[in-house]
Amino acid sequence: MHYPTYRLSTQTTELLAVAGLQPLDVESLVLRAVTEDIESGVDVTTMATVPGNQRGRLLLVAHEVGVIAGLAVAAAVFDVVCGEDCEIAFAVEDGDRVAAEEVVLSVSGRTHDLLRAERPALNFLGHLSGIATRTAAWVEEVSASSARIRDTRKTTPGMRSLEKYAVRAGGGVNHRMNLADAALVKDNHVLAAGGVREAFAAVRAAYPDVSVEVEVDDLDQLAEVVEAGADLVLLDNFSTPDMIEAVHRVGGRVRLEASGGLSLDRAREVASTGVDYLAVGALTHSAPVLDIGADLVITGEE
């Protein structure tokens, strides 16, 4: 399939498409990131210190153990800045666990271009790899169970598709991408509709083909929405004993998702209750950036 772009290479475009990302959207985001650095003029430090005809190779190096995500996004930065002049080589793939001081990507081109692209590329790559690394830690904690780690819509504005991709790279699964993908009836909807059962019935009547998840606060509400026919029930801030009881009561009739107050040190305990998903907003809103740096090697002159 052909994906039209203005500045991205065929290699980068294809990698983004395989990752489930829209190349034009990524290109637009990258353009904004690059423009932030030069909207007031030029890179005065590089212009003053680096000969205009100098060429080099920039090595992107992980400075700590982690899971990589966003290599094609970083490549898109170099495509936008360098055009066809840069040669990009991937040393690993998204989803790979890397060791400290391992090279993940190298780019050859004009030193001026490499240094202008360096920070935006690292910002994307470090942020997305941080999400993938945090997700992988949660996935590892629940690996003895059948529970899956799932994200939320608590994402950085404008970055949702990239951040949810990073969750997938780390072994997690995505919840809805937007409000049209599925229904999630929460406390405010219940209040507005006049009750849990009423809210569920209203969504089912208006959108009969949409999957409906309903948030419940206690076991009494659980029985009500299960009887009503919910596809998935979100157990909001349930204690571990109440989760165990919820799993027992539904007997596999609906899927259950634990949410609220979850932490990595509780992940194994929660997964062992038999719930199907753990909803973890911290995957995207609180993941620390993976420390990735850039080392320049001078290769000659044009």
**Is 164 labeled as catalytic in the residue annotation?**
no
CATH 3.20.20.70 in the chain, residues? 144-285
Q: What is the pLDDT of residues 77-91, one digit of tens each?
A: 999 999 889 999 999
CA–CA gap between residue 78 and residue 7 (Å, rounded)? 10
Q: Which of 153, 154, 176, 255 is catalytic?
A: 154
Token readout for 15 is 């990698």
Q: Which of 7, 57, 97, 119 is catalytic?
A: 119
Q: Which of 213, 215, 257, 276 is catalytic?
A: 215
What CATH number is given for 10-139+288-301 in this structure? 3.90.1170.20
CATH 3.90.1170.20 in the chain, residues? 10-139+288-301
What CATH number is given for 144-285 in this structure? 3.20.20.70
Token readout for 16 is 């983004």
**Is 163 labeled as catalytic in the residue annotation?**
no
Strands 87-90 vs 102-110: parallel, antiparallel or unpaired: antiparallel
**Is 204 labeled as catalytic in the residue annotation?**
no
What pLDDT, on a 0 to 100 scale, did the predictor assign at position 39?
79
Q: Which of 32, 186, 249, 253 is catalytic?
A: 186
What pLDDT, on a 0 to 100 scale, did the predictor assign at position 42?
86
Question: Would you give the end-to-end CA distance of the chain in angstroms?
Answer: 36
Q: What is the pLDDT of residues 248-302, one digit of tens each?
A: 999 999 999 999 989 999 999 999 999 999 999 999 999 999 999 999 999 999 8
Fill in the DSSP letter of residue 85. G
- The amino acid at residue 95 is G
Q: Which residues of the chain are modeled with pLDDT < 50?
A: 1-4
What pLDDT, on a 0 to 100 scale, did the predictor assign at position 6?
67
What pLDDT, on a 0 to 100 scale, did the predictor assign at position 228?
87
Angle between helices 23-38 and 10-18 (to 10 degrees): 120
Token readout for 184 is 């999630």
What pLDDT, on a 0 to 100 scale, did the predictor assign at position 2?
44
Handedness of CA 256, 238, 222, 175 (dihedral sign): negative
